[in-house]
Amino acid sequence: MSVLPKISVPHLLIGRAAPFGPNGEPSAIDKHGLADAVELTLAGLAGDEHGDLVHHGGPDKALHHYPGEHYAAWRSELADVPAERWRIGGFGENLGPFGLTENEVCLGDLFRLGSALIQVSQARQPCWKLNLRFGCPDMAARVQASGRTGWYYRVIEAGKAAPGAELILVDRPHADWPLARLLHHLYRDPLDHDALAAIAALDALPPSWRQLAARRLASGRVEDWTRRLETPAATTM
């Protein structure tokens, strides 16, 4: 198993669902840091909410991790976005430490966070709410193309953690599947037969991801990303 440096998690963040989209679509993307220890349940951090329970939340998306170092890259690339948008929590993450990116973390990695045990379950598939969050109409597409997507954890053992806790790697069952490799085949080389077959067989992935790979294999086509990436038009009553 690869050895990672100690990763300190200075911020644990939660948010409340509120109207956000052009038609009042709810979102809890506005996350704010906690001062004290918090319970980690199978659903995530106690008090954290999700606006869209179809596409967000659930056991395989209990915690969202967005690497802190990505913010510098976005600030450099999108200088017109107000500086206050580039704060930890800006991408709706629950954890935003430095020292661990999609290149270093692998699918299925098991980490101890406080007394909880969490497992990397999937990369984030960015959606149009990022376009509104950053005032950039193609932000979701930019995140997808960059590979700076962040990722989700499922909670294997509930527990408790406080800001400043360490994220400690305890097992790495799929060392040959860093998330950067998964993202490459999800978005950049999406019809590689051998890669899709391997993804469809990865037991650490949620069934929906394995089924996506299987559908690509069967059809030889990539699914339409438009509804996920493009902000919906406002409707009039």
CATH number for the domain spanning 92: value is 2.40.33.20
The tens digit of pLDDT for each residue in 185-213 reads 999 999 999 999 999 999 999 999 999 99
Asked if residue 118 is part of any domain, the answer here is yes
Distance, in Å, from the CA atom of 31 to the CA atom of 90, rounded to the nearest integer, reads: 7
Residue type, 144: Q
Residue type, 98: F
pLDDT for res 185: 98
The answer to whether residue 237 is domain-embedded is: no
Higher-pLDDT residue of 133 and 237 is 133
Considering the chain, what is the average pLDDT of its residues?
94
Q: Provide the domain limits for residue 37.
A: 7-173
Report the distance separating Cα 130 and Cα 2, nearest Å: 33
Q: Number of structural domains, the chain?
A: 1
For residue 107, being part of any structural domain is answered with yes
The verdict on residue 165 lying in a domain is yes
- pLDDT tens digits, residue range 107-141? 999 999 999 999 999 999 999 999 999 999 999 99
pLDDT value for 2: 52
Beta-carbon contacts of residue 160 (< 8 Å; ≥ 6 apart):
37, 38, 39, 40, 114, 115, 116
Answer whether residue 236 shows pLDDT above 70: no
Distance CA 123, CA 143 (A): 12
Asked if residue 90 belongs to a domain, the reply is yes
